[in-house]
């Protein structure tokens, strides 16, 4: 499950936010499946959700959901 905050939603309006998350997950899948890695990590996105009213800027680590 992937959650994104208001800042991300404002940067990628509407459907673009979901598409951007899918692109980011695809890039991570490629990186984590590189043949040089001895441990393989499988990523699967079950859902993508906008956590309205949240701003995760690194300054506040309180409640990501």
What is the rounded distance in angstroms from the CA atom of residue 61 to the CA atom of residue 64? 7
Spell out the domain ranges in the chain: 2-50
Beta bridge partner(s), residue 47: none
In 3D space, the residue among 62, 44, 41 whose CA is nearest the CA of residue 53 turns out to be: 62
Give the pLDDT score at 62. 62
Question: 3-60: per-residue pLDDT in tens?
Answer: 999 999 999 998 999 999 999 999 999 999 888 989 878 888 999 999 999 888 777 6
Give the pLDDT score at 65. 55
């Amino acid at each position: 499950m992937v959650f994104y905050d208001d800042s991300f939603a404002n940067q990628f309006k509407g459907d673009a936010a979901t598409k951007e998350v899918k692109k980011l997950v695809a890039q991570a899948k490629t990186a984590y499946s590189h043949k040089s890695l001895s441990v393989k990590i499988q990523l699967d996105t079950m859902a993508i959700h906008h956590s309205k009213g949240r701003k995760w800027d690194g300054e506040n680590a309180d409640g990501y959901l």
